Amino acid sequence: MNLKILLLIHEGFEEIEAVVPLDVLRRALVDVLTASLSDNIQVMGAHQIQLTADGLFSSLQSYDDFHGILIPGGPGVFNLLNRTDVHQCLRQFHRDSKWIAAICAAPLLLKRAGILPEKFTAHVSVKDDLPQLRTESVVVDHHFITANGPGAAFEFAFEMVGALTSKDLALSLKKSMSCGESVP
Residue ranges and CATH numbers for the domains of the chain are: 4-176 (3.40.50.880)
Supply the mean pLDDT for the chain.
95
Residue-wise pLDDT tens digits, 20-59: 999 999 999 999 999 999 999 999 999 999 999 999 999 9
- With cut-offs at 50, 70 and 90, classify the pLDDT of residue 178: confident
pLDDT given for residue 1 in this prediction: 62
Q: Are 77 and 105 in contact (CB under 8 A)?
A: yes
E strands present in 27-174: 31-36, 42-44, 50-52, 55-56, 68-71, 99-103, 138-141, 144-147
Percent of the chain residues topping a pLDDT of 70: 96
| Average pLDDT score over residue span 153-169 | 97
| Average pLDDT score over residue span 85-94 | 98
pTM: 0.94
Residue 120 confidence (pLDDT) above 80: yes
